[in-house]
Structure 1
Amino acid sequence: MSETKSIEALRATLGNDHPPSELAPLVEAMWWEAKGDWKRAHEIAQDIDTRDAAWVHAYLHRREGDDWNAGYWYRQAGRPHAQIPMDEEWREITAELLTH
C-alpha cells in the first residue's frame, strides 16, 4: 500500500516542495491546492475529462469564489453544489480519490 493512501499521510507531505511521485493526477491537483497553488491545481484538473475531474474543477472554482462556474462543474460531475466548509469538501474529495 502506498504511503499516501490516507488523508493524514497526504497532508504530512505538504511541507515538501513537490508532491509524492505516486499520486494520481487528481490527487496531485488537490495536493497543490492544499499548498495554495490554485493555478497549478486547476491546470491539472482542466486537462482531465472525467466526472471526478469535474468535481475537483468545481471545488477549485468554489474555492476561487466563482460560484457560477463552480455550479457548472458540479453539474458536469453529477454532484450537488457543495455547501459544506471548503476544508471539509477538500477532505471528502481527496478521500474518495485516494480510494480509486
Structure 2
Amino acid sequence: MTSRDQFHASLQTQAPPPTLSLSQAALWWIGKKNWAEAHRLVQSAEGARECDRIHALLHRQEGDLANARYWYARADARMPDQTIIQEWEELVRQAFPQTGTQPS
C-alpha cells in the first residue's frame, strides 16, 4: 500500500504508481492538474462512491455547480465550503489513511 507521503512524493514523477486504486489514481491526476485524465478515470467507475465524490470535486472545479451537486448527492455527500485544494487534500487523507501512531 502506498503511504500518503509516498503519494505526495510520486507527484514529482510522470505517471502514477501502479499500485494505486482507480480513485487514488484520479486524485493523483488532480494533483498533477490533469483534470481531464482524472475525469476520464472517475467516469469509468460511475457508481463507486469514492469516484462519484471525486467526480463532484471535478465539476466543482470546472464551475459547474449544478452538476457538482448532482455528483455530491450520488456520493451521499454535501458540497463543502472549503477551497478546491482543501477538498482535494481531505480526499487524499481519506484515500491514504495513516496507519500506526506517530512518535512523540
Q: Which amino acid aligns with 2:43?
A: Q
Q: Deviations over 1:48-98 (max 9, x none)?
A: 121111101001111111111100000000101111011111011122122
Verify: 1:28 aligned to 2:11, yes or no.
no
Once the two structures are TM-superposed, the CA of residue 9 in structure 1 deviates from its matched residue by 2.3
The corresponding residue for 2:66 is 68
Once the two structures are TM-superposed, the CA of residue 44 in structure 1 deviates from its matched residue by 0.4
How do 1:79-98 residues align onto structure 2 when only pairs under 5 Å count?
Answer: 79-98=77-96
The corresponding residue for 2:57 is 59
The corresponding residue for 2:16 is 19
Q: 2:35 and 2:52 mapped to 1: Cα distance?
A: 15
SS at 1:22 equivalent: coil
Q: 1:61 and 1:83 mapped to 2: Cα distance?
A: 15
Q: Which amino acid aligns with 1:92?
A: E
Q: 2:75 and 2:64 mapped to 1: Cα distance?
A: 17
Gaps in structure 1 of 5+ consecutive residues: none
The corresponding residue for 2:42 is 45
Runs in 1 of length 4+ with deviation above 3 angstroms?
A: none
For normalisation by structure 1, the TM-score amounts to 0.89
> Matched residues, percent identical?
33
Gaps in structure 2 of 5+ consecutive residues: 98-104
Once the two structures are TM-superposed, the CA of residue 22 in structure 1 deviates from its matched residue by 0.4
